[in-house]
Every structure is written in C-alpha cells, then in structure tokens.
C-alpha cells in the first residue's frame, strides 16, 4: 500500500455496543477512511467522518455484509461482536474471492472451528502450557455426574456473548437443571422475539447455528478478572493492551472500570495463541487472576475487537493506531506513543460506568473515557439503545415481558455536563 494513501477500514457490528463507534473514531484520527455495516440507530451512525454506512436489515442480512465488502474494497475488516465474526467465517466458506481479505482480517481459516468452540480453544491453550482452569466439553447432562462439585463450577454455552450463557453452579442438581434449561432456551419464539423486538437481524441465523452448540463446564477460579486486547498480523503480535477489571456490569458481564495491568504470563499467552492459531486483526483474551497467587488463568478467547482498542494503554499507542500504521507501512515512534499514555490508574469506560452507577467514585478519581469530540455520540450513548426506544420494545415492557429501563438520560446528561466542567 502507498505510504501516502488512506487505508480503507470496514467496521462490522450487529449489536448496539459502543466499542465499535470508539474504534471508528480512533481509526479516523489515525488517517484512515472508515466505512461501516450496522443496524439502524447504531452508535456508528453518530460518528463524524464515516464515509459510508450499510444497513443490516431483512431475514438474510449476510447479503448486506457481502455487498458492503465488495463496494468498499477495504484493506481490513474489523468485526466488533461475535455474530459479525461468524458471518465472516460463513462468507469465507462461500465466497472464494473474499478469502484473502477475510484471512488477513481474522487469521488462518484452520483456526475458525476452534474459535467457535470454547472447549477447543481451552484444549489448544493447555497443549501449549498456558494456564487454564479444568475444562470439559459436555455432550449430555449425564457427563456432569463425573464432575467434582466440591467447589463451584462455570457452565458456558457456545454461541453466546457478553456474559450471556455463562452460569456459576454449585451442585450436580443445579448443573443438570441449568444444562437442560440452556437447551430449552434455543427455541424459535425467542429468536423471533430478538428479531422483531430487539431488532437483532441475525437472531434467526444465530438460532439455527446454536442448535448444534456445545456446552462446557469449567473449574471456578476465585480471583479478579483481567482482560487483554491485542492487534496481530498473520500470526505475529503487533501490540497488546491489558487491564484488570475493577468493576463489571454483572458478575459475568462486560467491564465498566479497569486499570492498567502488566503481566508477563498474559503477554506470553497472547504470543503463543497468536502464533499457534495464526491470528490476524484484533482479538481478546479473558483471564482470572487467582486469589493469593495472582496466577493468570485463561478462561475465554474473543475473536474480535473488544472495548480497549481506542485507549492509549500500550507502549506503542492505541491498538487502532498500531494497525493503521501497519497498513500504511509507517515506522512507529514508541517514545512519542508512550508519552501520550493514559496516566491515571483507573479508567471508567463510557457509557457503562455512568449509566450503571452515576455515583461511582472512579468517575471523579480516575480517567473518564468520554468522546467529548463527538457530542452527538455522547448524547446517543447516554440514552437507552435504539431498539429499546422503539414501539415494539415498549409494548413488550408494558406487557411485563421485558426488562425495565433504569437509566434517566436527562439526569445523566446533567451529570456529564458537570463532569466536563470540573
């Protein structure tokens, strides 16, 4: 690629997570052209400077993704949630001319089956000497009888994300009941509800895929969660950003407050898995730092961009900038990047912290990660997500079938104004 040209980035998002918008801002800041494919009302639509946006819609939205790739001819595709990754896997299998680009964006196709199976990733990690909890893939509830329930365990259903499908169990009876209920949840009516009410246009496709999903049981490791996001290129790590999670949205949910973490054990795991699976693009690993020992246990691989890609945490700068530099064949000035690193110990991720706990001390004492340069995006992220504001969702909640919205956008907006002026 010409060093003076602007690389084209295509960001793919099927869920209304804000991290994709933050990554787009970072790529634009680093001199890239950015296009996006996303649902209606998505945060990406509130980012200034995105050149074109393609809208997921209808019963077969994978055609929209395929059309967006062909129209934009990107240098790199960046999936920002699991369904976007699986769709790229499906396109790789059906569209031969797109295979080189998808492999550059995700990694070697030989690793795709393992990436879609939690148990298989753990098996590969264990074979390389990476520390993992005791893990077993389950084919039936009968196999739970062989598990020792003297300590808690964690059930995980493949084909789920964001903490969904992850359950802590304490006995054989509870594990059996949860295993059976997880199978029963894979029903058509729930997929249609997600399609019609949640406006998740891939819900029916994901439901079909989940019919063959496996469940794993994993040893519960008491400790503190940690996570790393890394940029890699055809099996080689370019840079990584690692944090310890101080506050999360739920016991198995996404982080809302983090602090920078240095861990040779985690960095080693990143290097080993990237090389073994020949990963490319953005990926993330989740760990638990064991109580008392601080030993890092790998518990999850996320084959996509996570929440850390726009934050200047790495000695090489933010991960979007590292990848942009690679695409432009630019030499990196590590000294300059290190001088711009976030200095405060704790980082309150926006909008998660302020929406879940407006009185959180970290909002005042730590670094509050607000994209002030994009006021329209800030206002949008302070509101309930676009699907939750539509009439279908309102009727669903009126009938008592959905969760109540507990965020007051006006009061949060007022607090944000106070914070911006302190």
Beta bridge partner(s), residue 33: 8
Q: Does 287 or 163 have the greater pLDDT score?
A: 287
Residue 38 pLDDT > 90? yes
- Whichever domain contains 73, its CATH number is 3.40.50.20
pLDDT of the residue at 207: 59
Which tens digits make up the pLDDT trace of 321-343? 999 999 999 876 665 555 577 88
Work out the mean pLDDT of the chain and round it to a whole number. Answer: 85
Q: Residue 2: CB partners within 8 Å, gap ≥ 6?
A: none
pLDDT of the residue at 422: 43
Whether residue 82 is found in the same domain as residue 148: no
Whether residue 85 is found in the same domain as residue 31: yes
Residue 74 maps to a domain: yes
pLDDT of the residue at 57: 77
Residue 409 pLDDT > 70? no
Residue 290 maps to a domain: no
- Whichever domain contains 194, its CATH number is 3.30.1490
Residue 177 maps to a domain: yes
Residue 285 pLDDT > 80? yes
- Residue 129 CA to residue 298 CA, distance in Å, equals 11
Whether residue 99 is found in the same domain as residue 139: no
**Terminus-to-terminus CA distance in the chain, angstroms?**
44
- Domain boundary among the residues 90, 106, 122 is at 106
Residue 87 maps to a domain: yes
Q: Does 3 or 68 have the greater pLDDT score?
A: 68
Model confidence at 411, pLDDT cuts 50, 70, 90, reads: very low
Which tens digits make up the pLDDT trace of 120-163? 999 999 999 999 999 998 888 899 999 999 999 998 877 665 55
pLDDT of the residue at 396: 64
pLDDT of the residue at 179: 83
Whether residue 99 is found in the same domain as residue 140: no
- Residue 146 CA to residue 327 CA, distance in Å, equals 50
- Residue 318 CA to residue 310 CA, distance in Å, equals 5
pLDDT of the residue at 161: 59
Which tens digits make up the pLDDT trace of 187-246? 555 665 665 556 566 666 665 665 556 788 999 999 999 999 999 999 999 999 999 999
Q: Does 114 or 337 have the greater pLDDT score?
A: 114
Quote the tokens at residue 101: 């680009």
List the Cα angle 91/194/307 in 5-degree steps: 65
Q: Residue 151: CB partners within 8 Å, gap ≥ 6?
A: 219, 220
Q: 88-118: buried (b, 16+ CB within 10 Å) or exposed (e) per residue? A: bbbbbeeeeebeebbbbbbbeeebbebbbbb
- How many structural domains compose the chain? 2
Q: Does 61 or 224 have the greater pLDDT score?
A: 224
Beta bridge partner(s), residue 228: 242, 285
- Domain boundary among the residues 153, 187, 219 is at 219
Chain length of the chain: 422
Which tens digits make up the pLDDT trace of 260-281? 999 999 999 999 999 999 999 9
The number of C-alpha atoms within 13 Å of 16 and in the hemisphere containing its C-beta is 24
pLDDT of the residue at 85: 94
Mean pLDDT of 90-99: 96
pLDDT of the residue at 112: 94
Residue 386 maps to a domain: no
- Residue 132 CA to residue 267 CA, distance in Å, equals 15
Residue 93 maps to a domain: yes
Instruction: Provide, rounded to the nearest whole percent, the portion of the chain with pLDDT above 90.
Output: 59
- Residue 161 CA to residue 129 CA, distance in Å, equals 26
Q: In the β-sheet with 367-369, what is the strand arrangement from edge to edge?
A: 296-302, 281-290, 223-233, 236-248, 255-260, 346-349, 367-369
**331 secondary structure, DSSP code:** P
Residue 300 pLDDT > 70? yes
pLDDT of the residue at 216: 87
Domain holding 102, by residue range, is 8-106
Whether residue 177 is found in the same domain as residue 89: no
Q: Residue 273: CB partners within 8 Å, gap ≥ 6?
A: 124, 125, 128, 130, 279, 285, 301
Residue 63 maps to a domain: yes
Whether residue 155 is found in the same domain as residue 92: no
Whether residue 34 is found in the same domain as residue 99: yes
pLDDT of the residue at 391: 59
Mean pLDDT of 73-102: 96
pLDDT of the residue at 389: 72
Whether residue 18 is found in the same domain as residue 60: yes
**Alpha-carbon separation of residue 321 from 106, 287, 405 (angstroms):** 18, 25, 36
């Amino acid at each position: 690629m010409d060093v003076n040209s602007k690389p084209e980035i295509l960001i793919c998002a099927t869920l209304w997570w804000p991290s994709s918008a933050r990554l787009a801002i970072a790529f634009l800041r680093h001199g890239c052209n950015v296009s996006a494919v996303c649902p209606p009302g998505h945060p990406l639509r509130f980012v200034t400077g995105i050149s074109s946006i393609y809208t997921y819609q209808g019963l077969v939205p994978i055609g929209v993704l395929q059309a967006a790739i062909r129209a934009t001819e990107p240098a790199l595709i960046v999936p920002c949630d699991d369904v976007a990754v699986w769709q790229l896997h499906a396109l790789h299998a059906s569209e031969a001319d797109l295979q080189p680009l998808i492999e550059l964006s995700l990694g070697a196709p030989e690793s795709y089956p393992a990436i879609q199976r939690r148990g298989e990733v753990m098996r590969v990690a264990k074979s390389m000497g990476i520390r993992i909890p005791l893990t077993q893939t389950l084919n039936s509830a009968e196999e739970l009888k062989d598990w020792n329930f003297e300590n808690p365990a964690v059930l995980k259903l493949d084909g789920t994300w964001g903490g969904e499908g992850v359950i802590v169990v304490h006995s054989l009876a509870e594990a059996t009941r949860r295993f059976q209920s997880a199978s029963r949840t894979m029903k058509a009516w729930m997929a249609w509800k997600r399609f019609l009410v949640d406006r998740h246009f891939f819900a029916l496709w994901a439901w079909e895929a989940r019919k063959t999903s496996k469940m794993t049981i994993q040893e519960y490791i008491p400790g503190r969660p940690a996570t790393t996001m890394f940029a890699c290129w055809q099996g080689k790590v370019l840079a990584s950003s690692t944090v310890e999670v101080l506050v999360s949205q739920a016991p198995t949910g996404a982080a809302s407050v983090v602090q920078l973490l240095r861990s040779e054990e985690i960095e080693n795991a990143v290097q080993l898995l990237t090389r073994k699976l020949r990963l490319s693009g953005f990926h993330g690993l989740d760990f638990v730092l064991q109580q008392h020992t601080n030993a890092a246990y790998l518990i999850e691989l996320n084959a996509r961009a996570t929440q850390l890609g726009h934050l200047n945490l790495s000695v090489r700068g933010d991960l979007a900038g590292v990848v942009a530099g690679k695409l432009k064949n630019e030499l990196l000035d590590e000294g300059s990047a290190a001088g711009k690193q976030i200095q405060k110990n704790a980082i309150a991720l926006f909008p998660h912290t302020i929406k879940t706990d407006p009185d959180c001390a970290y909002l005042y004492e730590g670094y509050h990660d607000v994209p002030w340069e994009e006021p329209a995006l800030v206002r949008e992220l302070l509101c309930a997500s676009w699907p939750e504001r539509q009439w279908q969702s309102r009727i669903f909640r009126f009938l008592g079938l959905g969760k109540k919205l507990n965020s007051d956008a006006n009061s949060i907006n007022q607090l944000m104004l106070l914070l911006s002026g302190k």
